[in-house]
Structure 1
Amino acid sequence: MRALRALAATAAASLLAAAGLALTSQPATAAGQICEQYGSTTIQGGRYVVQNNRWGTSATQCITPTSSGFTVDQADGTSSTSGAPKSYPSVYYGCHYGNCSPSGDILSPNGVQTSSSAFAGISTSVSMTYPGSGTYDASYDIWFNKSQPNAKTGQNDGAELMVWLNHTGSIQPIGSKVGTASIAGATWDVWFGTSGWNVISYVRQQPTSSASFAVKSFWDDVVARGYGSTSWWLTSIQAGFEPWIGGAGLAVTNFSVTTNGTQPTQPPTTPTPTPTTTPTQQPTTPPSGNGCTAALKVDSQWQGGFQATVTVTNAGSSSINGWATSWAFPSGQSIQSLWNGTATTSGSNVSVRNAPYNGSLPAKGSTTYGFVGNGNAPSGIALACATS
């Protein structure tokens, strides 16, 4: 179930949502388009579950799973923007009303306590595409129980942590705005409300189509505000959409969760606008001292923007515990958003340090970070790399 996204959640809407939730444990359908109200299937050999989860409307909704996410093909009907959304088509890792992702899932069936080292090592990444019309939010929905759950757990009683990457129209999270936070390289408006459990929503001030973060980075802020506890248990990590009007064309193009303290390696896709030209640049691999090298590759470019990936390699014969790269943009380019690292800029000069989870590299080991840039895609940039 999704917590109500109303300005003031009504009792009637809560009853409707609760009625829908009881059905989400229906057996998963076969692969292919899913139009059943609570139909689901698994992808990537059972690692993730894709669910239609149409709980707030009787109108037809159909989704098609892909190898790394899903696409909303049909989304009929509308809901009042002052009430609950129509649905939450999504892909998830963990257990949702007894429907669990089975392959190597540390959350199934008993979850992970948020005070544990296992929880500290959980990170997630998502990439999305949006249609040109409709009223919706694009969001993570991450669920917590107050005590250790099992596979039969229905509604979580602890907290619903939502991370809104984008939204359109007049919709807003449940409750009221209680502050702001700087997490995962962005600034978020923080909302708090209740719906039988705590609902904490982080609304990105600058919309994006991709995100990559350690779940603990948001949960630490939840706990600091008094809305959660380190004794609670994480049960599922979900990413998808809450549509009120329309929704056809929404898609999760890539979703991943890692549980070993490393960030998902597949970078997010390019946010809108869609690239219109094929990049001509080749990776630049300038040598640099102090034990590491950095190579920049432009993945795609479009009018006024580009996306690039930087590969950092430990060139030494022993492990390193941190790295930093730096360069100067040649023609007024700037960074719009960045993942898997922490950027500092001064004019055209850029420095990117490792994130908390990808600074340690074995001898000859490598990691990547990516960014979306403003301006024309650069060529011939010389990157410096230093270890710490």
Structure 2
Amino acid sequence: MNNNYNGGSQTITVTPTGFAITARTGSAPTDGAPLAYPAVYLGCHYGNCSPSSTLPLQIGEIISATSSISYTYPADAGDVYDASYDIWMDPNPKTTGVNQQELMIWFTEQGGVQPISYSYDPQGNAIPIATVTIDGVSWNVYRGNNGANNVVSYVAVDPIATLTDFELLDFIDDVMIRTADFQEPVTDAWYLTSVQAGFEPWNGGVGLTVNSFDATVN
């Protein structure tokens, strides 16, 4: 999906296993929403469901949910973006509209963009609530709300371009811990509705590429 929603224009080239941003105009301040979220996905996104997907599926019924992702990042120092892998969950088997919980996994970021957080330092940097190791990778964890849904973000301490056969349930289990004090915490009774991999550009981004994406939920 091209998913260009916050100004400027964007062109992507779709491949059998992913996509690349081939043209991009516009810019947005880094303290606000990105220009777009071009992505590939498994599951349902605003009423569009991927072929043969088993999602939505109740989390407690999932035996395994594995994924592999390979990114390419351009070398332009002026680009501002993150490489974001999104997992969406809701108390209901929703196929349209906004889900209540977003789980963001940032494989890298450039240009000083910050994850959504309830707490920021005087310099405007998001303050992590924890650092965890999941699938052998160290992640800083942040909690916040974007005005439409709750967000828990996992930002790689060191940039990652490729991660193979990682278990999504490990992240979901951690989100259950992070949302335990929410009015509606994520539980096994909730539904996994979609898994998405792409980029959030604020400026530039030509050459950002998802080389390959795969997700299997059983």
Q: Considering the TM-score relative to the shorter chain, is it more than 0.5?
A: yes
Q: Distance in 1 between matches of 2:144 and 2:91?
A: 17
Secondary structure of 1:94's partner? Answer: strand
* Larger RCO, structures 1/2 (Cα 8 Å, 6+ apart): 2
Q: Which consecutive residues of structure 2, in runs of 5 or more, have no partner in the other structure?
A: 120-127
CA contact (8 A) 1:79 1:85 kept: yes
Q: Does the alignment pair 1:214 with 2:167?
A: yes
Partners of 2:31 and 2:151 lie apart in 1 by 17
Q: How far did residue 91 of structure 1 move?
A: 0.4
Are the aligned partners of 2:83 and 2:198 in contact in 1 as well (CA < 8 Å)? Answer: yes
What residue in structure 2 maps to residue 379 of structure 1?
Answer: none
* Contact 2:20-2:208 at 8 Å conserved across structures: yes
Partner of 1:77: 26
The residue identity in structure 2 corresponding to 1:231 is: A
- Structure-1 separation of matches of 2:217 and 2:35: 32
Distance (whole Å) between structure 2 residues aligned to residue 120 and residue 75 of structure 1: 40
Q: Which residue of 1 aligns with 2:84?
A: 139
Cα distance in 2, alignment partners of residues 121 and 256 from structure 1:
14
1:105 and 2:48 aligned? no
1:83 offset after TM fit, Å?
1.1
1:189 aligned residue (140, 147, 152): 140
Equivalent position SS for 2:37: coil
Provide TM-score, normalisation by structure 1: 0.50
Selected match of 2:155 from 179, 203, 211: 203
- Cα distance in 2 for partners of 1:52, 1:99 equals 13
Alignment equivalent of 1:67, drawn from 16, 24, 31: 16
Q: Which residue of 2 aligns with 1:258?
A: 216
- The Cα offsets for residues 328-352 of structure 1, whole Å up to 9 and x where unpaired, read as xxxxxxxxxxxxxxxxxxxxxxxxx
* CA–CA separation in structure 1 for the residues paired with 2:93 and 2:15: 32
Question: What is the match of residue 104 of structure 2?
Answer: 162
Distance 1:88 1:121 in 2: 26
**TM-score normalised according to structure 2 size:** 0.89
The superposition leaves residues 332-376 of structure 1 with CA deviations (integer Å, 9 ceiling, x where unpaired) of xxxxxxxxxxxxxxxxxxxxxxxxxxxxxxxxxxxxxxxxxxxxx
Q: How far apart are residue 84 of structure 1 and its match?
A: 1.0
Give the Cα separation in 2 of the matches to 1:155 and 1:132. 34
Structure 1 distance, partners of 2:131, 2:186, is 17
Q: 1:235 aligns with which of 193, 199, 202?
A: 193
Aligned letter for 2:154? Answer: Y
Following superposition, the deviation at residue 259 of structure 1 comes to 2.8
Larger Rg: 1
> Does the aligned pair in 2 maintain the 1:174–1:191 contact within 8 Å?
yes
Q: Which residue is equivalent to 1:171?
A: 113
Indicate the residue corresponding to 1:55 in structure 2: 5
Specify every segment of 5 or more residues in structure 1 that has no aligned partner in the other structure, as ranges: 1-50, 261-388
- d(CA) in 2 for partners of 1:186 and 1:121? 19
Whole-angstrom CA distance in 2 between matches of 1:186 and 1:113: 27
Q: Does 1:91 align with 2:40?
A: yes
